[in-house]
Structures are given as structure tokens and as C-alpha cells.
Chain A
């Protein structure tokens, strides 16, 4: 057991933080958030130069061959800076499923281009029910000659308007169970018949409705095996859930000192707010929640990174951080009081993102049901 980060990891954290603080000042975060695309190609280029998109891509595909644990450090820092953009979806929802399930040709075709920042990827999974469950997958893919033809509508597809490719989760067969008969396709986002529209959401992360009308996808772009795509999706969801928890943890780790400093600066009744015990105990409670969140997340990250079975630990970390990030940002608004409710101040940014983060890849209710099963509660 060694509960400290390696020297390389500490350096990675520092260089990530330096880049993000420089490139994503609050004003830039707001500018990107308010823009139509929610994406800044200049920053993206800088991230590519640092190798971030290729961090976990094996070296043989021009990546850096680093671990999921290393990636989680970058994600924590991105969360701390509430950095918007297509990084999360490209790496977690694009690169990883191709690393996991792609053919040699697919890996050679896509991974180097992801690593060098040429391609933005996303995953088209959710549909009308908005749940992370195979039963919600109704978009159909039907074989026709050398192609599959996709029809239907996907929802909440992150950054679809910026994506070069989408991995589309489609139904190819009505199987014995909802999980049976699901197939994944790597779809060129410019294929005719695809229409994207941004859904207005609280986190403004450019979650899109993507409709498919007779969209032809070459059979060679099938990812993994026909009808057996759900386990790939499950793995993506598990990894994305803990990655999202890392991002949220970074935000929480930022909220505590930021709010403490605000309370030290702001004077009322001739005293800094930080001197009032009612507020001190709120901050102490936050410190306690932050401390307990950290090692729960780090354990799940480590297990995921080592390839150990960790469905339970991931569900625990995600549900716990879901609740704590929401609570931290709520308290941040409260402690900034009037300023907290003003759109120009920082608390609202976190508050809105925390809600979105808690939903992405499994809200608390879904995760807790997984935990209930994992601890042996008979259903």
C-alpha cells in the first residue's frame, strides 16, 4: 500500500494545473460556455501538444501509454477549473472503447488521430427514457449490402455538434434480454442523414439531440461483435462514472479553499465572516466530506486502473461524490449569499455543473441500487 502519488504524478498534476489556470481563466470558461459550440479549438490544440488526448492511448498508436490513474489526475484538475470542451467525451467515450474493443485497423485508423487532437469523438447512448440501461436502446441498425442503416433519435449526446465521429449504440436484434442484440458503430458525424441540435441544459455542456435518418455506416465500422456490444458499453459507463467522480472531486477540492478565502476576505460586523463559528462548522463539515470522498474515489480509480473488478467501488464513489459535489456547491452559493446567486460569481458555475455531473453516467439512485445488489441485498 502506498497512499501517496508518485513524483511523476505530482508533476503531471502541476503541469496540468498550470496549463488550465492559464488557458481557462473564469472569463474564458464563461465565454466557451456561452458560445454556440462550447469548444475552443485553440485550447484543444494546446492540450494536444501536451499529449492529453493520447495520455492513455498505447504508445504503438502514438499515445503516451499512461494509466487511468494518471488520467484521473488530469480530470481532477479539469474539474477544479470547470474546463468545458470535448476532452471527456473524446477520451472516455471515444478512445477507450476503441482501445477496449476496436479491431487492429480501427485502432490504427482512429487512435493516432485522437492522440494528436485531429479527431473529436463522442458516444451516442441515451434515448427517450434518459436512463443508462439497455432497455432504453431503440435506435435501429439494419444491414443493407456493405452497410448498416441507422434510424432513430439519440439524446444527451455530449458535444455532438463538435464531434468528427460518434460511437452509436444501436439495436440490431430483439434479443432474449435488453442487453442482447446491441451493436456499436463508429459513425462519421458528417454522414448524410445525421442532424444535431443542442439541448439547453443547466451545465451548458452542449448535450445534443442527434437524429439518424437512413444513415449508412460501412460494416467495417462496427465496433466489437454484432449483437454483443452491451458489455463494451458497460465498461465505458463504469470507467466514465469514476472519471466523472474524479472530475467532481477536483471541483470539490477547489471549492473548499476558494470558499474559505472568500470568508476570510469578506467583512461584516467589523469581522471577517471566517471568524463566525456557524460558518466555521459548515467549512469543517465540507473538509470532512472532502477528506472522506478523496480516498473512496482514489480507491476506485486505482482498482479501475489495475483492471480489478470494481463495479461496487465505482458505484460507491460516484454516488458519494454526486451528493457531496451538489452539497458543496449549494453551500458555496449560500456562503457567498447575494453574490452566490449572481451569475457573474463562481459558485453558480459549480452549482450548475454539479447537477449535470451527478446525472452523467449514473445518478445516485442508479448507483445505490447497484450497491444494494453488490452488498448482498436479495431483490
Chain B
């Protein structure tokens, strides 16, 4: 077992870091990087600048098959994520690049791939996800927005929510109930649609810090061509659970927290409180050392997952669940630690009074991105317990009631 990158890999990794460092120099004064930076309207010129540059370098098609303009290897995807995370750069549409792209590559037919992959890989088409509903969160398969087949179209009615970036997206992919009477998980289809289709309306939702990241999306008789389905009708749940082609190391998040920790170390070295540098405070030293340790643990795990995936696409599934939980928690705790260390200034939003450009006050609020989206930490823990450790699924209150009723009826 060794963690040494080959010379060629080191060279490639440096190319990504150098490229990202250059782009980071162009960032606007008021730009606070972070996972959410892609979505805010005021950031769009810089987001576009980064996306176009990445597209030009082929970095949005890393690890894709050559017939769709693919360049590089799976490890290149990992290095790019690492570099982008470190410099806090926007410009990679996670819905198109990280989610739909791999899904189409695994499950799409040739027509669909030919039609949609170029726009994703060239950074021309922005995507959003239409999954969650007001009453379908963790229990996503309980969704009720319907897509009823009429001739060669589906007609959609209902409501989606938490649709991140729907306000910037050109196209969307989503899950809709195509068989209202069908069994749960076997009544859902995976559809693609143009966000300008008549009948779609978007209502912005404010995030904790007032950022415009996500939206409610309403559907009123929205007609979608039937050939924009991925997979078979009523097989959408399976499509959405595809495991191949995804980059699961979360290395981007790791290098983002790594960079934030370095900033915090710098701040503690330079900032005197009561005449003494914060870096001399033994409590602060202990806490930063602990945080650095956990970041290194997550970095080594990310590299393990990356290497295993590089060897076998569907490897290390439970390790990647563990990774997501761990690094998500790290974000929340780092936000708390940073604001604690800033003391009174930990509450100041970006303004002339803020320290460190208000980055910690911002992180304190946006740190939930990883722990809640794409399967909350609690859901990930269920997955680990049930499928990783083979513990039996708990009986739901409904099944308990049914069992009790059945027992009483038998009497």
C-alpha cells in the first residue's frame, strides 16, 4: 500500500492547481468562494468566466469516453476537484457535470447522449435537479408530482422544492410519478426538460444568509416530449440510484476545508488579542491541531476512495457514505470553530467591519450544504448500518400498527 502519486500524476495535478490559481487571481473583491458560490446571481459573470475556461481546457469532460470529447482519467477528475476546492472556484455545474453526465453515460441511449452530453461538456447548458418536494425529502420516493403520458408527451403537474440553481439553469432533470397507482419506487420516471417550457414557474427561496441558492418550482400542465425520458418508464428510481461513473471521493470538500484551515492558522499567527498572538493560546492550538488531523484523515480517505474507484468504478461505496458524513460534519464544525476563534468578530457579515472578509460568518451558515443535500447524514448512517453492517431495518410505526392489527384480527 502506498500513497505516492506517479510522476505523471504529480505533473497533471500541478497543471490543475496552476490553472485554478490563475483563475483565482481574477476573482471579484466581493466573491466569497464556497460550494454555494455558483448559484448566486451577483457571481454569474465570474462563474461563467471560470466555466468557459474549464470547458476550453476540457476539464468538464474528464474521464468521459473519447467519443464524447473525453480527456484524462478518473484521477484527473480527482485532481481537478482538489484544485478547484482549494481555490474555492465556481464554474462546475454539479448537476450537469457531476450528476447528469455520469447518469447519461451509464443509462442514456445514443440519441440522448449525442443530444445532451456536448452541452454539458462544453459548459453551454446549465442544469438543475427536480427531486425534492414539500412532502418528499429523505423519503424521496414519496414524491407526488405527476407526469402523465399523453401521446408522445408527458404532462406534468405538481411542485418541486429546494431546486438549487433552477433560477440559472437552462435544463432540468427530475423524478416524476408516471404511474399514480403503481407501487412505490416502481411508479417513477426520470425526465429531462427545458426550463423555458410553458407552465413552469419558479419562486425563489431565501437561504439562511439570504443568498439565493434554491427555489420552489411549480408545474402547471407542462408538456415534455416523451423521448426525454432516461431509462424505461416507471424505472426512474433505478436510474437515479446509478452508482457508476460518479466521482465519490469528496476531495473537493476536503481541499476546501484544508484551505480554510490554512487561513485560520494565518489569522491566529497575525492577530493579537490582549497583546498576545492567538496562536499562543493552548486551547486554540489544541483545537486547530485536532481539526488539521481530521482534515488529513478525510484527505487520506478521499485518496483511498479515488484510487479504488480508479481501479473499479463501483468500489468503496460505504467508505464514500462515511466520507460524505465525515466531511460534511467537518464543514459545520470548522464553521463553528472559525467563528469561535474570531470571537466578537465571528458574527460580522461581509462589510467594512468584517474580519477575513466575513468568510467565517458565511461558512457558519452555508456549512449545511453537504450534510443535508443528496442524502442527509442521518440517511447515510442508515445506509451504513443496514447495508454496510447488515443490521436489520427498524420496523416503521406503520408496520408495527399493521402487525398489531393483524395479530388482533387473528384472535
CA distance A291 to B393 in the complex (A): 22
Interface string of B29-73 (1 = CB under 8 A from A): 000000000000000000000000000000000000000000000
Determine the chain A residues whose CB is within 8 A of the CB of B297 once the complex forms.
292-293, 295-296, 316, 320
Instruction: From known contacts A1-B5, A283-B389, A288-B322, infer whether A365 and B394 are also in contact, taking CB-CB under 8 Å.
Output: no
Task: Contact check, A377 vs B288: say whether CB atoms are below 8 A apart.
Answer: yes
CA distance A2 to B310 in the complex (A): 10
Q: Contacts A256-B389, A319-B289, A377-B289 given; 8 further ones with Cβ under 8 A?
A: A284-B325, A284-B380, A292-B322, A296-B296, A299-B296, A316-B296, A372-B285, A375-B292
CA distance A371 to B2 in the complex (A): 22
Instruction: From known contacts A287-B322, A291-B319, A368-B290, infer whether A1 and B269 are also in contact, taking CB-CB under 8 Å.
Output: no
- Does any Cβ of A come within 8 Å of B390's Cβ? yes
Task: Contact check, B298 vs A372: say whether CB atoms are below 8 A apart.
Answer: no
- Does any Cβ of B come within 8 Å of A272's Cβ? yes
CB-based nearest A residue for B5: A1
Q: Return the contact of B325 from the options A288, A295, A367 (Cβ within 8 A).
A: A288
Could you tell me which residues of chain B, from 290 to 310, have a CB within 8 Å of some CB in chain A?
Answer: 290, 292-294, 296-298, 300-301, 303-304, 307-308
Task: Contact check, A2 vs B2: say whether CB atoms are below 8 A apart.
Answer: yes
CA distance A295 to B386 in the complex (A): 23
Task: Contact check, B300 vs A295: say whether CB atoms are below 8 A apart.
Answer: yes
Q: Return the contact of B303 from the options A1, A263, A275, A369 (Cβ within 8 A).
A: A1
- Does any Cβ of A come within 8 Å of B326's Cβ? yes
- Does any Cβ of A come within 8 Å of B318's Cβ? yes
Determine the chain A residues whose CB is within 8 A of the CB of B3 once the complex forms.
1, 3, 298-299, 302
Which secondary structure dominates where chain A touches chain B? helix
CA distance A236 to B44 in the complex (A): 55
Task: Contact check, B389 vs A287: say whether CB atoms are below 8 A apart.
Answer: yes
Q: List 28 A-B contacts (CB under 8 A).
A: A3-B3, A9-B1, A256-B389, A264-B391, A275-B391, A277-B394, A281-B382, A281-B385, A284-B380, A284-B381, A285-B381, A287-B389, A288-B322, A288-B381, A291-B326, A292-B322, A294-B304, A298-B1, A299-B296, A299-B300, A302-B2, A316-B296, A368-B286, A371-B289, A372-B286, A377-B265, A377-B284, A379-B279
Could you tell me which residues of chain A, from 320 to 379, have a CB within 8 Å of some CB in chain B?
Answer: 320, 365, 367-372, 375-379
Instruction: From known contacts A260-B390, A296-B297, A313-B296, infer whether A376 and B265 are also in contact, taking CB-CB under 8 Å.
Output: yes
Task: Contact check, A275 vs B392: say whether CB atoms are below 8 A apart.
Answer: yes
Determine the chain A residues whose CB is within 8 A of the CB of B300 once the complex forms.
295-296, 298-299
Determine the chain A residues whose CB is within 8 A of the CB of B280 once the complex forms.
378-379
Determine the chain A residues whose CB is within 8 A of the CB of B227 once the complex forms.
none
Determine the chain B residues whose CB is within 8 A of the CB of A264 once the complex forms.
390-392
Task: Contact check, B277 vs A378: say whether CB atoms are below 8 A apart.
Answer: yes
Q: Return the contact of A320 from the options B4, B277, B293, B393 (Cβ within 8 A).
A: B293
Specify which of A6, A287, A298, A319 lies most central, judged by the most chain B CB atoms within 10 Å of its CB. Answer: A287
Specify which of A1, A260, A275 lies most central, judged by the most chain B CB atoms within 10 Å of its CB. Answer: A1
Q: Which 5 A-B pairs have the closest CB atoms?
A: A280-B385, A284-B381, A295-B300, A371-B289, A368-B289
Could you tell me which residues of chain A, from 272 to 311, have a CB within 8 Å of some CB in chain B?
Answer: 272, 274-277, 280-281, 283-285, 287-288, 291-296, 298-299, 302, 306
Determine the chain B residues whose CB is within 8 A of the CB of A2 once the complex forms.
1-2, 307
Which secondary structure dominates where chain B touches chain A? helix
- Does any Cβ of A come within 8 Å of B9's Cβ? yes
Task: Contact check, A288 vs B2: say whether CB atoms are below 8 A apart.
Answer: no
CA distance A365 to B282 in the complex (A): 10
- Does any Cβ of B come within 8 Å of A4's Cβ? yes
Interface size class on chain A is: 35 or more
Q: Count contacts on B: residues with CB < 8 A to the other chain.
A: 54
CB-based nearest A residue for B388: A287
- Does any Cβ of B come within 8 Å of A162's Cβ? no
CA distance A306 to B322 in the complex (A): 29
Task: Contact check, B381 vs A365: say whether CB atoms are below 8 A apart.
Answer: no
Determine the chain B residues whose CB is within 8 A of the CB of A280 once the complex forms.
381-382, 385-386, 389, 391, 394
CA distance A260 to B392 in the complex (A): 11
Instruction: From known contacts A296-B300, A377-B279, infer whether A365 and B286 are also in contact, taking CB-CB under 8 Å.
Output: yes
CA distance A95 to B220 in the complex (A): 77
Determine the chain B residues whose CB is within 8 A of the CB of A295 once the complex forms.
297, 300-301, 303-304
Task: Contact check, B391 vs A302: say whether CB atoms are below 8 A apart.
Answer: no
Task: Contact check, B322 vs A319: say whether CB atoms are below 8 A apart.
Answer: no
Task: Contact check, A275 vs B389: say whether CB atoms are below 8 A apart.
Answer: no
Determine the chain A residues whose CB is within 8 A of the CB of B323 once the complex forms.
291
CA distance A275 to B382 in the complex (A): 11
- Does any Cβ of B come within 8 Å of A19's Cβ? no
CA distance A295 to B380 in the complex (A): 20
A189 CB, min distance to chain B CBs, angstroms: 37
B72 CB, min distance to chain A CBs, angstroms: 16
Task: Contact check, A291 vs B322: say whether CB atoms are below 8 A apart.
Answer: yes
Determine the chain A residues whose CB is within 8 A of the CB of B294 once the complex forms.
292, 320
- Does any Cβ of A come within 8 Å of B401's Cβ? no
CB-based nearest A residue for B319: A291
Determine the chain B residues whose CB is within 8 A of the CB of A6 once the complex forms.
1
- Does any Cβ of B come within 8 Å of A248's Cβ? no
Determine the chain A residues whose CB is within 8 A of the CB of B389 once the complex forms.
256, 260, 280, 283-284, 287
A211 CB, min distance to chain B CBs, angstroms: 35
Determine the chain A residues whose CB is within 8 A of the CB of B398 once the complex forms.
none
- Does any Cβ of A come within 8 Å of B409's Cβ? no
CB-based nearest B residue for A279: B391
A39 CB, min distance to chain B CBs, angstroms: 32
Interface string of B90-129 (1 = CB under 8 A from A): 0000000000000000000000000000000000000000
CB-based nearest B residue for A306: B2
B327 CB, min distance to chain A CBs, angstroms: 9
